[in-house]
């Protein structure tokens, strides 16, 4: 969105989306959490990709959430020493473990301009 006051572009992400994913956050959450029998509308290769994606990005999400909490909520390094060793449970400390925790984490990371863009579009200019 472009701000009408300052003219700058601000990134805003709706609750149900994860950038570059074709399924909703709720389905990806169920896979990442594991546990009981999965009932998500995705094939096994997609489920495995989601698991690898979270394994690769989960620590970064947690780091971004710590950074955001430090900047805006007075969170300190001492506070982070009490985080659980699991990345997932560390994220839960900031988002809660109820449904839509992934949406909260992704929205916070994306809307603070900390999302790593994996897709690029190039526009060529004719001379």
pLDDT digits 0-9 by tens, 20-34: 677 778 888 888 888
User: Can you tell me the mean pLDDT for 101-117?
Assistant: 82
* pLDDT for residue 92: 92
User: Can you tell me the mean pLDDT for 75-95?
Assistant: 80
Confidence label for 113 from pLDDT (cuts 50, 70 and 90): confident
* pLDDT for residue 101: 92
- To the nearest 10 degrees (0 to 180), the angle between helices 44-73 and 87-95 is 50
Confidence label for 36 from pLDDT (cuts 50, 70 and 90): low
DSSP notation for 31-83? HHH--S----SS-HHHHHHHHHHHHHHHHHHHHHHHHHHHHHH---HHHHTTS
User: Can you tell me the mean pLDDT for 35-42?
Assistant: 72
HSE-CB at 127 with a 13 A cutoff on CA atoms is: 0
8: tokens are 């700058």
HSE-CB at 12 with a 13 A cutoff on CA atoms is: 7
* pLDDT for residue 54: 92
């Amino acid at each position: 969105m472009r701000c009408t006051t300052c003219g700058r572009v601000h990134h805003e992400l709706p609750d149900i989306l994860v950038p570059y994913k074709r399924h909703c956050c709720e389905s990806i959450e169920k896979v990442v959490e594991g546990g009981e029998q999965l009932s998500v509308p995705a094939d096994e290769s997609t489920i495995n990709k989601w698991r690898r994606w979270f394994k690769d990005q989960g620590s970064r999400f947690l780091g971004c959430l710590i950074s955001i909490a430090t900047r805006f909520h007075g969170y300190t390094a001492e506070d982070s020493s009490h985080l659980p060793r699991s990345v997932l449970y560390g994220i839960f400390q900031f988002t809660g473990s109820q449904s839509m925790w992934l949406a909260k984490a992704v929205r916070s990371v994306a809307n603070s301009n900390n999302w790593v863009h994996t897709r690029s579009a190039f526009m060529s200019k004719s001379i």
